[in-house]
Structure 1
Amino acid sequence: MAPTKGRKLTKPERRAQLIGTAKDILRECGADALTLGHLAERAGVSKPIAYEHFGTREGLLIALSQEIEDRHTEKLKEALAGETKQLDTVAGIISSVYIDCAVESGEEWQAISGALRGNADMIATQQQQVDDYVGMIQEALGAFSNVSEDDLRLRCAGLAGAAEAIGRELIRGRTNETAAAANLTALIIDSVND
């Protein structure tokens, strides 16, 4: 994202600009090149502004991870809002949204995750993201399940892990979008049907 000229940006607008610029740097140069100093320079702002928004490089990477997850969550909520009450339709929606998001930001997410491996704040953030995702798919699939709520939660946690693994296979070029979505859909249906 290019530096802005003209009027002063509001704090949310500046943060969005910095996030966009950070994603550009991540795509073009990789996670190692993403520092607050580099971000400030590319965004056309002073270093203190970048530090004010993110605090540390790790804070920036966590904010990027959260932005990706928020986008995914919003897409899934929107897609499920108009869903029919059939398991295969709901499973297909969950799968297609996950695969679309993996295609859209999978490489970025993998770079962010790798750069923060072992970081306590990132671990906590990722766990919260997984818990939120598991809760969403559990709620969406609950009407189709005969198993206890605890068992369904565990199955949905397994599905979240399977979705991530299938997404990695797709990003690595080991499968295509159609096969990835179809197999994730099948896993969802098989997990709910007892």
Structure 2
Amino acid sequence: MTTAPTRLSKQARREQLLDVALAIVRASGADGLTLPTLAEAAGVSRPIVYDHFGTRPGLLLALYQRLDEQHRTAIAQALKQASPTAADIAGTISVAYFACATDLPEFNAVSSALKGNPEMEAIQHELHDGYTDLMADALTPYSPLDQAALRLHCVGALGAAEAIAVELNRGATTAADAITALTGVILGRIERADGRT
């Protein structure tokens, strides 16, 4: 007697489809990811994929959000293990940021594929704000800056992190040097405000 295959819940199916989508981007780049190629690779009918994501940009946006969530979760976990000093918090943020930049190259591929998409712009702002808040919250106990100034400092540090990540991904610097540079950027204004120059 054969048993019928287990039917996945809608959420479990979505996660499975995103896993397959990520594998496609790893193997073929974002250009290789379409709703039909996803349906074929996942072994499901096209209507199932269209039901979950609607359009190719909808699929790419869902994948981008998932990658961002993984990135932020990794940083939050790393921060829980960090020693309670400004230097260790800044170093932990830097290590986790560049680990993600090198371990999740699909992040940049998906982001590039969505350039010019108005919905992507709104989501990027929302995710950037969340990331800035995570960073500011982690640094608050060690910073003499008021919340507005610290948050603005974190915005600047994230801009620097993105620029350094580009250098790292094109092989113009090492991970160790990227981490040192970003840690210095994060600590710079905090230590100056604290009178430690």
Stretches of structure 2 that go unaligned for 5 or more consecutive residues are: 193-197
Identity of aligned residues (%): 43
Counterpart of 2:14 in structure 1 is 15
**Higher Rg of the two aligned structures:** 2
Q: Secondary structure at the match of 1:38?
A: helix
Aligned to 1:165: 163
Distance in 2 (alpha carbons) for counterparts of 1:178 and 1:110: 21
The equivalent of 1:54 in structure 2 is 53
Query: Post-superposition, which runs of at least 4 consecutive aligned residues in structure 1 deviate over 4 A?
Result: none
Structure 2 length as normaliser, TM-score? Answer: 0.91
1:95 partnered with 2:94: yes
Q: 2: CA distance between counterparts of 1:59 and 1:159? A: 30
RMSD over equivalenced CA pairs, Å: 1.3
| TM-score, normalised by the number of residues in structure 1 | 0.93
- The Cα shift of 1:6 comes to 3.0
Deviation at 1:156, TM superposition (A): 0.3
Aligned mate of 1:188, from 186, 189, 192: 186
Counterpart of 2:35? 36
Structure 1 residue runs without a partner (length 5+): none
**CA–CA distance in structure 2, aligned partners of residues 46 and 139 of structure 1:** 44
- Tell me the residue number matched to 2:124: 126
Partners of 1:62 and 1:144 lie apart in 2 by 35
Q: Deviations over 1:135-183 (max 9, x none)?
A: 0110111122222221111110011111111111111111111111111
Whole-angstrom distance in 2 between the partners of 1:166 and 1:48 = 41
Deviation at 1:18, TM superposition (A): 0.8
The alpha-carbon deviation at position 191 of structure 1 amounts to 2.8
**Which of residues 137, 150, 153 is equivalent to 1:152?**
150
Q: Distance in 2 between matches of 1:36 and 1:69?
A: 21
Q: How many residues align?
A: 189
Measure how far apart 1:78 and its partner are.
Answer: 1.2
The counterpart of 1:143, out of the listed 141, 145, 153, is: 141
- Which segment drifts farther, 90-99 or 77-86? 77-86
